[in-house]
Copies of this chain bind each other. A is one copy, B any other.
Amino acid sequence: MSRLHPSLIIGAPVFAGLDAGALDDILSRAQTVRLSKGDLAFRQDQRADRFFLLLHGRLRVTRLNAEGGQVVVRFIAPNDLFGVGMAIGAATYPGTATAVVDSLALVWPNSAWTDLVAAYPSVAVEALQSLGARLQDTQERVLDLSTLNVEQRIAGAVLSLAAQAGRATEDGTLIDFPLSRQDLAELTGTTLHTVSRTLSAWEAKGLVVSGRRRITVRDGPGLEVIAGKN
């Protein structure tokens, strides 16, 4: 097996501020996993015995309830740490992580977490910050679900995805991974029908251009007015 190069993880916030030796040490405990489109990194309720860092691609994390209802918890971008059940004291993964495009990740056994935190305390601090940011986001989502109507929530979700994964094109900002109406519905607590109608209406007004699993934002400020967060 070939050595992994430190440049792989130098951009990851969790490992920010560590020197080359530390990065080497951290990498020496990792393995790489390829995930083809549709493959799972882990499944909900499975024993959480490994954690991951996404190097390339995009993953969707979903969570199911007893009656079969499903929500999209989040989309994982490169340099995001995920599946850290151990660090937060969860025995099993709270959701299912699916590759939405061909992806590449690093994996560590859970035992490495304790060692890493002990050897490099900044890792725990960074993990705490990133967890805090996720808690904030999730609380914001509860607020949105409780106080905004469907159109406002969809606008907010599209804007935040465009900010997270936008790529400039001649048409506007393209959300740079395949995103279905169903995905957007599960992200905003509505149905694919309502999402479809909403996007059609926006397209008629020139706010977005959208197609099969593709959305391009043409008029961000216009969407912000709809989202009504300021």
List residues of chain A with CB under 8 Å of any chain B CB.
63, 65-67, 69-71, 73, 87-90, 94-95, 117, 121, 124-125, 127-129, 131-136, 138-139, 141-148, 186, 189, 228-230
Contacts and interface: CB of A to CB of B under 8 A. Distances in A.
Contacts of A94: 136, 139
Nearest to A127: B128
A67 B228 contact: yes
Given A125-B124, A128-B127, A228 B135 contact: no
A147 B88 contact: no
Contacts of A138: 135, 138-139, 142
A147 B67 contact: yes
Contact of A87 (B63, B67, B128): B128
A229 B186 CA distance: 19
Nearest to A138: B138
Q: Which 5 A-B pairs have the closest CB atoms?
A: A88-B132, A69-B147, A146-B189, A89-B129, A145-B145
Contact of A66 (B142, B145, B229): B229
Given A125-B117, A128-B127, A69 B143 contact: yes
B142 A145 contact: yes
Contacts of A87: 128, 132
A87 B88 CA distance: 15
Contacts of A144: 65
Given A71-B146, A128-B87, A66 B117 contact: no
Given A117-B125, A128-B124, A146 B69 contact: yes
A189 B146 CA distance: 4
12 contacts: A66-B230, A67-B228, A71-B147, A88-B128, A88-B131, A88-B136, A89-B129, A117-B125, A124-B128, A128-B131, A142-B142, A146-B189
Nearest to A189: B146
Nearest to A73: B139
B135 A135 contact: yes
